């Protein structure tokens, strides 16, 4: 028995030592030409399929690695970067995440790429979509673009205002002022409560409620579906709209001066007012819900519950992005066909907007559209590996077969497509494309705010102190704005 134990322990040590040694030793043959580390779990299968198709076309072997969707893969990526077999292509979410790869020398500046198809691809990335730390360098090829705003079901619009109303409603709501939008919200609220027939004006045009509720409109319990426990919905995304009043892109926000941060006072106050309005007319499972302890309950006021409330036609609007498409579809396969985006409006005055390229009016008719993820090339890879990476990215983003994977299998809105002739099966993608065509899009400056500022600091403060509070006053709006400004300056 003792002898067996001895043999066993020696074997164990031998196995461990050999594992350690092989981990350190250099593996001459890796069995692939290109290793892609993909940070977006949702597109794992599609990217794998694309890589296989690429292999069939070119004979190059591509290895892809993705974690499950919704999981942060950054720690895994760091571990891979410490190993001998580093990925050649990896993903970067925003310029906050770029910092470590830039400082560590892991990421290749695409403006230094050799002339050719790849250089052209990199040069053609629209200015506002670049992953850049100083405005001139460029570190990533966009995965795609995503956008968010108030999602509305056009069938519900018809149910409220009569058949055909939805044909002009989306445009009129887009052009409506904040005051018009608020009167729409309050009118819908009293229509739900007591069937009060009113006429509201949107973009100068009158809309009158139907005197009798239909099957669909009688399902409404509130105006907005709100996920009170999800800090990112109001911390990151809603606040981003306000940040656009001062910053034009993430790099701008990352280089913010104290003066610019102070200029956020007006926009952040407007943000607080919108959040107050939104959370005062929230829809619940069986009726209107109000702010309080239940409002931030993580088991009932989370993303899935909010999506479900909207998908079951209990709310007129939900502030979400096109990524919610499949989640909405899960609850209601019909509703996804008739969805549209409407801009999130803020009660801004032109004095609040200090950006050179935007006006309050422009902000209120635009939706946020931005790049959620970039493909970056590992600067520490060999020239041969880099070339393989560039070839693959060119194929994925310009060839017909590559683009098919992007638009169909990954269900992405391509960042570089000719938007005039793209029609997808996805109503929300189409809506984003329309906004892009009209040029009414905002950037994502929150990605350049100090790390943790938007969601984990401002969002957290709002969740802890305000979403549980029934009445908000002008003092609260000021306090929210001041807190955001003070924290930004402190965390910078």
Q: Which residues bind another protein (CB under 8 A)?
A: 6, 9-10, 12-13, 16, 20, 78, 81-82, 96-97, 99-100, 103-106, 293-294, 296-300, 451-452, 456, 460, 463-464, 468
DSSP string of 383-422, one letter each residue = HHHHHHHHHHHHHHHHSHHHHHIIIIIS--B-SSS-GGG-
460: left (phi over 0), alpha (psi -120 to 50) or beta: alpha
Shortest reach from residue 240's CB to another protein, in Å: 18
Token pair of 454, please? Answer: 């938007």
Nearer to another protein by Cβ, of 109 and 461: the residue is 461
Nearer to another protein by Cβ, of 474 and 486: the residue is 486
Shortest reach from residue 112's CB to another protein, in Å: 20
Shortest reach from residue 96's CB to another protein, in Å: 5
Nearer to another protein by Cβ, of 337 and 489: the residue is 489
Nearer to another protein by Cβ, of 76 and 332: the residue is 76
Shortest reach from residue 445's CB to another protein, in Å: 16
Q: Which residues neighbour 29 within 8 Å (Cβ) at sequence distance 6 or greater?
A: none
Shortest reach from residue 107's CB to another protein, in Å: 11
Shortest reach from residue 452's CB to another protein, in Å: 5
Nearer to another protein by Cβ, of 99 and 265: the residue is 99
Nearer to another protein by Cβ, of 3 and 31: the residue is 3
Phi then psi for residue 432, to 5 deg, are -60, -45
Q: How many CB atoms lie within 10 A of CB 323?
A: 14
Shortest reach from residue 75's CB to another protein, in Å: 8
Shortest reach from residue 415's CB to another protein, in Å: 24
Q: At what angle do helices 165-175 and 154-161 cross, to 10 degrees?
A: 100
Nearer to another protein by Cβ, of 103 and 438: the residue is 103
What's the farthest any 2 CA atoms get from each other in the chain? 92
CA 424 to chain CA centroid, Å, is 19
- Do 318 and 151 contact (CB within 8 A), yes or no? yes
Q: Which residues neighbour 291 within 8 Å (Cβ) at sequence distance 6 or greater?
A: 228, 279, 280, 466, 467, 468, 469, 470
Nearer to another protein by Cβ, of 161 and 234: the residue is 234
Closest by Cα among 485, 474, 453, 481 to 271:
481
Nearer to another protein by Cβ, of 71 and 218: the residue is 71
Q: What is the Cα–Cα distance from 348 to 5, expressed in whole angstroms?
A: 76
Token pair of 105, please? Answer: 């020398």
Nearer to another protein by Cβ, of 293 and 357: the residue is 293
Q: What is the Cα–Cα distance from 481 to 492, expressed in whole angstroms?
A: 17
Shortest reach from residue 73's CB to another protein, in Å: 13
Phi then psi for residue 153, to 5 deg, are -90, 120
Q: What is the Cα–Cα distance from 58 to 444, expressed in whole angstroms?
A: 37
Shortest reach from residue 316's CB to another protein, in Å: 27
Token pair of 480, please? Answer: 């929210």
Closest by Cα among 402, 371, 383, 444 to 108:
383
């Amino acid at each position: 028995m003792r002898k067996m134990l001895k043999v066993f322990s020696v074997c164990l040590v031998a196995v461990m030592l050999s594992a350690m040694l092989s981990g350190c030793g250099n593996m001459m043959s890796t069995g692939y030409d290109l290793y892609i580390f993909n940070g977006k779990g949702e597109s794992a299968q599609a990217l794998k399929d694309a890589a296989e198709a690429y292999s069939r076309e070119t004979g190059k072997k591509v290895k892809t690695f993705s974690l499950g969707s919704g999981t942060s893969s950054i720690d895994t990526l760091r571990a891979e970067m410490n190993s001998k077999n580093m990925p050649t292509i990896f993903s970067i979410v925003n310029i906050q995440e770029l910092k470590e790869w830039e400082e560590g020398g892991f990421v290749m500046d695409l403006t230094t790429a050799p002339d050719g198809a790849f250089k052209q691809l990199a040069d053609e990335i629209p200015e506002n979509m670049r992953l850049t730390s100083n405005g001139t360098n460029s570190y990533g090829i966009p995965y795609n673009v995503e956008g968010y705003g108030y999602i509305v079901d056009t069938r519900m619009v018809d149910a409220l205002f009569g058949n055909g109303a939805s044909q002009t409603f989306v445009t009129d709501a887009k052009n409506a002022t904040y005051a018009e939008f608020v009167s729409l919200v309050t009118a819908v609220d009293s229509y739900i409560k007591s069937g009060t027939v009113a006429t509201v004006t949107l973009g100068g045009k009158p809309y009158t409620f139907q005197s009798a509720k239909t099957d669909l409109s009688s399902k409404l319990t509130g105006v907005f579906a709100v996920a009170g426990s999800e800090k990112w919905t109001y911390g990151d995304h809603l606040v981003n709209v306000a940040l656009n009043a001062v910053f034009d892109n993430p790099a701008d926000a990352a280089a913010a001066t104290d003066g610019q941060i102070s200029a956020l006072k007006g926009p952040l106050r407007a943000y607080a007012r919108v959040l107050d309005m939104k959370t005062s007319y929230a829809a619940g499972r069986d009726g209107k819900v109000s702010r309080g302890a239940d409002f931030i309950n993580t088991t009932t006021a989370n993303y899935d519950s909010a999506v479900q409330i909207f998908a079951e036609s209990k709310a007129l609007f939900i502030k979400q992005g096109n990524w919610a498409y499949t989640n909405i579809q899960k609850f209601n396969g019909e509703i996804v066909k008739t969805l549209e985006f409407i801009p999130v409006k803020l009660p801004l005055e032109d004095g609040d907007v200090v950006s050179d390229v935007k006006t309050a009016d422009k902000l209120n008719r635009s939706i946020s559209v931005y790049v959620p993820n970039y493909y970056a090339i590992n600067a520490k890879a060999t020239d041969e590996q880099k070339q393989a990476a560039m070839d693959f990215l060119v194929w994925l983003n310009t060839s017909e077969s590559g683009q098919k994977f992007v638009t169909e299998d990954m269900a992405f809105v391509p960042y570089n497509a000719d938007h005039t002739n793209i029609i997808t099966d996805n109503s929300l993608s189409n809506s984003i494309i329309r906004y892009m065509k009209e040029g009414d899009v905002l950037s994502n400056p929150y990605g350049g705010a100090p790390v943790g500022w938007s969601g984990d600091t401002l969002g957290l403060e709002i969740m802890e102190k305000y979403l549980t509070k029934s009445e908000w006053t002008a003092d609260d709006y000021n306090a929210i704005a001041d807190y955001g400004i003070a924290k930004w300056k402190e965390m910078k």
